[in-house]
Amino acid sequence: MFEKLTLKSIDARAALVPLRRPVVSKVGLFGDWPLVLIDLYTNEGIVGRSYLEPYLKNSARYIIPAIQDLAATQVGKPLAPLESFQANRRSLNLVGYEGVAMIAVSGVDMAIWDALAKAADLPLAALLGGTVGPVPAYNSNGLWLVDISVLSQEAEELVEEGGFKGLKLRLGRDHLGDDLVAIREVRKAASDDIKLMVDFNQGLPLGDALHRCHALDDQGLYWFEEPIAYDNLSGYVQLTRELKTPVQIGENFYGPRGLFEAVRSGASLPTEKSASPTRRNAYAFEERVRIRKRGRLFPGWHEIPVKSSRNSAGSAVFASEVPQ
């Protein structure tokens, strides 16, 4: 049993990290990657830490004040993540449960869990009921919508960076033929046992997505990720129904409600045909506890493979708790 912790203060600050391989995708061009670094100080001397990846560097201007406002209401109170999370959400419900509000709440929540794990002298994965060990991983730090001629060399580098058994390639070029060439170029450098998943970064309207994904459906790809806007669930129902390749969604969900609606609507099904929703950088650990509980409503939930993205530390924790 670990000691009771009470909140003293929270420090949140912005950082901008230069990317070795700039992001070139349908959602934009990013040469630097923004972070919000969070230090949660307790009166007992333990410091909990977390970080957020809000995509847009200017978003820190709005997220950090929200974090500071949340901290001001919790000073002197015990670190109780479930209660704090709900209280923080309720305090922001008039501005909405998604977007900046949820990102700020999640940053505080993850820092609380980190402090509790340190106080318990346990890895956070173990504190949350998981185990510590290897988890499957793919390398997505490249293979953007860059010149096709560099993809083969870049794929070789990505595999060698950590002995990865999977790569993610971004698709959605102006012409279908260019996407097919991009796939061939990557496979020149990747052995047959390398899983290749592709991500459209929500870049296609539904009609184009249906045409493009049907044309690529026999390419042996591991999944199609977010071909259309993340909240177009009726579109994902159609894609999931018509395609053989699994359809991956959920990176842009803000908590279990989005996941619940996706599974309930059939946009992501508890079968081997459809890859399950993912966590976003704005998910809090408390939300993941609720996701596990909510999943009991669906037969076969624990057989749904889950992939976890963004926030690397949080993703590793989450991946230790769910089917891969």
Per-residue pLDDT tens digits for 253-296: 877 777 778 888 888 654 434 444 443 344 455 555 554 444 44
**In the structure encoding, which two tokens stand for residue 107, read together?**
């940053």
pLDDT exceeds cutoff 70 at 311: no
Which residues, listed in sequence order, are joined to residue 222 by a DSSP beta bridge? none
**pLDDT attached to residue 312:** 57
Read off the pLDDT of each residue in 287-311 and give the average, rounded to a whole number.
51
> According to the model, what pLDDT value does residue 89 have?
82
Instruction: Give the C-alpha separation, 306 to 201, whole Å.
Output: 18
Model pLDDT, residue 142: 94
* Alpha carbon 18 to chain centroid, angstroms: 20
- Token pair, residue 13, equals 């600050």
Measure the CA–CA gap between 114 and 125, rounded to whole angstroms: 10
Give the rounded distance of the alpha carbon of 203 from its chain centre: 18
Specify whether the CB–CB gap between 294 and 286 falls below 8 A.
no
- Count, residues in the chain: 324
* Weakest-pLDDT range from 58-67, 141-150, 185-194, 248-257: 248-257
Quote the percentage of the chain above a pLDDT of 70: 81
DSSP summary character for residue 282 = T
Q: For residue range 23-80, list pLDDT tens digits in order.
A: 999 888 999 999 999 999 999 999 999 999 988 889 999 999 999 999 999 999 999 9
Confidence of residue 220 (pLDDT cuts 50, 70, 90): very high
186 vs 220: CA distance, rounded Å: 13
Q: Tell me what pLDDT residue 3 has.
A: 66
Going by C-alpha positions, the residue among 80, 84, 73 that lies closest to residue 106 is 84
* pLDDT category of residue 199 using cuts at 50, 70 and 90: very high
pLDDT band for 132, please (50, 70, 90 cuts).
confident
Name the residue type at position 168.
Answer: K
Closest CA to 64 of 43, 35, 32: 35
Give residue 273's pLDDT: 40
E strand intervals along 26-152: 28-42, 47-52
Give the burial string for 179-209 (b: 16+ CB within 10 Å, else e).
beebbebbbebbeeebbbbbbbbbbbebeeb
